[in-house]
Chains A and B, each alone.
Chain A
């Protein structure tokens, strides 16, 4: 089963130089993320870097989630385009978007399980009862520019009633043990929209006046 897992990562880097703009493309399997990062790291802190697109397709497995979160964070903290005060907000957006797509969208984790089991325990349960859920994919695209960042993520679930979440103008009550994800996304982002019955999320964060 191991070799049937699919997790890919691709980077498109737009660089300027004395010969004009050029685009560099890299791609690999996400499981090689550490090696992949070492291949691209010198470009990431190059001042000629103008924009970056990180695209990844991954399954709803703990290992895949850890790879993409780790890789995204490394990229985010290396590149020169994101001002320091926007690093945590962007990381928060990525966390909330990925956990929403994987937990709610693909794995349909019931609330009772989220407050009683670890991801690892739930994954083991699902692997026995509904292994097909773990193969459900998410596709993420992270765009980073000098003045803003954008994230889009699509999951393979059945969607959800996102409008009532977006309409919420107060945070959940302090005693509530869940339900803050979309509220945090809305508060952190400058623009947020769902499409395709909630299966696709777009978020934009501005960091400099355009």
Chain B
């Protein structure tokens, strides 16, 4: 189960997420990000993961694909406020440096 609130302003957007990002729901989140990116001229996207207590490999894959998309747009993707569980799995997979958490 994942829920989020969106704060979009000019070229910046922040999604504050709450729940778990897993193989069960990563696709829904991907669709929403795609829709936001096609609707708004965003350059900088931030995910606030304060409320995210769990991420699996599909969730990690989603975060990577969003970063790849933003880099292709000559923009940026930042992840803020990772919880310990999420930090652990990012460390395990070498993504902590990639996301600069």
Q: Please list the residues of chain A having a beta carbon within 8 angstroms of any beta carbon in chain B.
A: 62, 65-66, 69, 88, 91-92, 95-96, 99, 103, 114-115, 117-122, 170-172, 174-178, 180-181, 183-184, 187-188
Residue of B nearest to A180 (CB): B57
In the A-B complex, the 8 residue pairs with the smallest Cβ-Cβ separation, listed nearest first, are A118-B27, A174-B98, A180-B57, A99-B23, A95-B56, A181-B57, A177-B65, A88-B85
Please tell me which one of the listed residues A66, A118, A122, A171 contacts residue B31 in the complex, with CB atoms under 8 A apart.
A118
Minimal beta-carbon separation of A123 from chain B (angstroms):
10
Establish whether residues A175 and B64, one from each chain, have CB atoms under 8 Å apart when the complex forms.
yes
Residues of A within 8 A of B24 (CB): 62, 65-66, 69, 119
Task: Tell which of B7-15, B35-43, B87-95 binds the partner.
Answer: B87-95
Establish whether residues A171 and B93, one from each chain, have CB atoms under 8 Å apart when the complex forms.
yes
Instruction: Give chain A's interface secondary structure class.
Output: helix
Residues of A within 8 A of B31 (CB): 118
Establish whether residues A115 and B65, one from each chain, have CB atoms under 8 Å apart when the complex forms.
yes
Establish whether residues A174 and B28, one from each chain, have CB atoms under 8 Å apart when the complex forms.
no
Please tell me which one of the listed residues B30, B54, B93 contacts residue A184 in the complex, with CB atoms under 8 A apart.
B93
Q: How many residues of B contact A (CB 8 A)?
A: 27
Could you tell me the distance between the alpha carbons of A140 and B43 in the complex, rounded to whole angstroms? 44
Q: Does B80 contact A (CB under 8 A)?
A: no
Residues of B within 8 A of A188 (CB): 92
Establish whether residues A184 and B92, one from each chain, have CB atoms under 8 Å apart when the complex forms.
yes
Please tell me which one of the listed residues A120, A171, A174, A176 contacts residue B92 in the complex, with CB atoms under 8 A apart.
A171
Could you tell me the distance between the alpha carbons of A31 and B74 in the complex, rounded to whole angstroms? 47
Please tell me which one of the listed residues B27, B30, B64 contacts residue A176 in the complex, with CB atoms under 8 A apart.
B64
Residues of B within 8 A of A62 (CB): 24
